[in-house]
């Protein structure tokens, strides 16, 4: 077993002793030991109850790696790469929701062009479903237009990769299957244990449905994005797990990477440690420790993790000292990956999500504008080189790191 088991302390109970032994008056020494044990008991108890923190970066099949400094490249003299990633998961129930998201995409695209900082969007294909399977022609049309906007942004240098919370909508899979039946590769392990450590709204649902459905979701999801955003070219190579959930231990994480490999995906961005949402929860790792090569059979999947930070990860909405994070040794260029959700700029998100009680929508937009301006400034100073995950993956694959 890969998971460490905690041992319960053996506490001296009077069970099984003779009545005479039970009646015996304890000596001073025995009393002192008992008092000490009682005092230490709460400490022992907490140590035994709290599970050991799983750190995927220490799993035997995940090897930390780095990007060596290459001469004569546009980025050769920068201190670090900067990836601005976002999970694209708009709430789309009405045609107006799609229109609102189109406005947000225009805002995001203008910021990118003005400041020379591309986005890497992890697109939750289930949120695009109305464009393919809605019975409402208005909703269908406007969701399609939103996807076309995203495709145009991709054409101008943004990167779109796959994201899913749980399995792909079965109606969406049926729609894709009717167009073209894809082969579902099942070389990975077909059985999985129930995830215990994290509150899992990704891996558990996949476990319930089985490995085949996991790979089917990833395979059809990848193809749906390629058809919609890349003119049918097999360009979608990366995945980010919804809820940062790749399972709660090494065994499950290995199955997860097998599923990515079987679906033809080449990189992942989303390892996390600790219990989801708990005090010890952390997404990704610090620069210098957030890149890894994951061996799956004959394949290597690269992990390009978000940069851990307050609240879980570096987030354009929260101030972080990017200059300090960009510190790299002479022979390597480190990578900072931040995470945002453009759907946070939707009115419905503010109205329904009680956790967003602080910044108003306009404040959030201004915060994002300031973030872009800061990254642009740091680029001009030779500190940060903005890049997409696709480009970064290509560098790592070419390096053979």
Residues binding Zn ion (CB under 5 A):
87, 89, 242
Minimum CB distance to Zn ion, residue 88 (Å): 9
- Strand, helix or coil for residue 297: coil
Question: To the nearest whole angstrom, how small is the minimum distance from the Cβ of residue 10 to Zn ion?
Answer: 45
Give the residue with the Cβ less far from Zn ion, 323 or 348. 348
Q: Report the nearest approach of Zn ion to the CB of residue 90 (Å).
A: 11
Q: How far is the CB of 57 from Zn ion (least distance, A)?
A: 21
CA dist., res. 70 & res. 218, Å (int)? 34
**Which is closer to Zn ion, CB of 303 or CB of 401?**
303
- Least Å distance, CB 243 to Zn ion, is 7
Distances (CA, A) of 14 to 37, 159, 302, 399: 15, 67, 56, 65
Kindly state the DSSP code that residue 288 receives in the 8-state scheme: T
Q: Which two tokens stand for residue 127?
A: 């949120």
Q: What is the DSSP letter of 123?
A: E
Nearest to 288 by CA among 64, 93, 69, 8: 64
Provide the minimum distance between the beta carbon of 361 and Zn ion in the complex, in angstroms, as a whole number.
20
Shortest Cβ distance from residue 380 to Zn ion (Å)? Answer: 32
Closer CB to Zn ion, residue 82 or residue 88? 88
Quick one: which of 342, 318, 337, 345 has its CA closest to 153? 342
CA distance 32 to 28: 6
Residue of this chain nearest to Zn ion (CB atom): 87
Identity of the residue, 67 or 83, whose beta carbon is nearer to Zn ion in the bound complex: 83
Q: Of 325 and 342, which CB lies nearer to Zn ion in the complex structure? A: 342
The CB-of-165 to Zn ion minimum distance in angstroms stands at: 5
What secondary structure letter does DSSP report for 313? S
What's the rounded Cα separation, in Å, for the pair 306 and 103?
27
Q: Which is nearer to Zn ion, 90 or 386 (CB)?
A: 90
Question: Nearer Cβ to Zn ion, position 95 or 238?
Answer: 238
The answer for 157, left when phi > 0, alpha when psi is -120 to 50, beta otherwise, is left
Bridge partners for 160 per DSSP = 121
- 65 vs 158, which CB is nearer to Zn ion? 158
Residue with tokens 């759907």: 343
Cα distances from 401 to residues 144, 270, 294, 308, 351, in angstroms, run 39, 19, 11, 22, 45
């Amino acid at each position: 077993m890969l998971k460490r088991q905690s041992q319960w302390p053996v506490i001296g109970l009077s069970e099984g002793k003779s009545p005479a032994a039970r009646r015996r008056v304890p000596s001073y020494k025995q009393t002192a030991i008992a008092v000490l044990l009682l005092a230490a008991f709460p400490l022992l108890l907490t140590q035994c109850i709290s599970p050991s923190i799983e750190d995927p970066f220490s799993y035997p099949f995940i090897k930390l790696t780095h990007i060596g400094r290459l001469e004569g490249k546009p980025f050769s003299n920068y201190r670090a790469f900067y990836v601005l990633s976002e999970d694209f998961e708009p709430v789309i129930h009405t045609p107006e929701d799609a229109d609102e998201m189109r406005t947000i995409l225009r805002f995001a695209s203008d910021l990118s062009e003005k400041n020379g900082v591309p986005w890497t969007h992890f697109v939750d294909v289930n949120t695009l479903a109305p464009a393919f399977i809605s019975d409402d022609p208005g909703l269908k049309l406007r969701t399609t237009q939103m996807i076309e906007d995203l495709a145009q942004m991709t054409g101008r240098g943004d990167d779109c990769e796959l994201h899913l919370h749980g399995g792909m909508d079965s109606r969406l899979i049926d729609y894709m299957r009717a167009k073209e039946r894809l082969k579902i590769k099942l070389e990975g392990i077909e059985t999985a244990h129930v995830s215990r450590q994290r509150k899992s709204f990704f891996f558990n649902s996949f476990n319930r449905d089985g490995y085949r459905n996991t790979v089917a979701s990833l395979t059809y999801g990848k193809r749906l994005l390629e058809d919609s955003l890349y003119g049918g070219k097999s360009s979608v190579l990366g995945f980010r797990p919804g809820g940062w959930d790749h399972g709660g231990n090494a065994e499950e994480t290995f199955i997860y990477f097998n599923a990515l490999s079987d679906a033809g995906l080449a990189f992942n961005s989303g390892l996390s440690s600790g219990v989801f949402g708990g005090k010890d929860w952390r997404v990704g790792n610090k620069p210098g420790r957030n890149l890894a090569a994951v061996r799956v059979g004959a394949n290597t999947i690269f992990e390009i993790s978000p940069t851990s930070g307050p609240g879980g990860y570096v987030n354009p909405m929260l101030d972080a000292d990017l200059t300090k994070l960009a510190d790299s040794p002479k022979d390597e260029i480190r990578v900072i990956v931040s995470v945002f959700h453009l759907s946070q700029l939707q009115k419905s998100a503010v109205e329904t999500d009680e956790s967003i009680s602080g910044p108003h929508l306009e404040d959030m937009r201004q915060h994002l504008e300031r973030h872009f301006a800061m990254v642009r400034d740091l680029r001009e100073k030779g500190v940060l080189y903005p890049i997409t995950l696709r480009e970064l993956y290509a560098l790592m694959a070419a390096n053979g790191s």
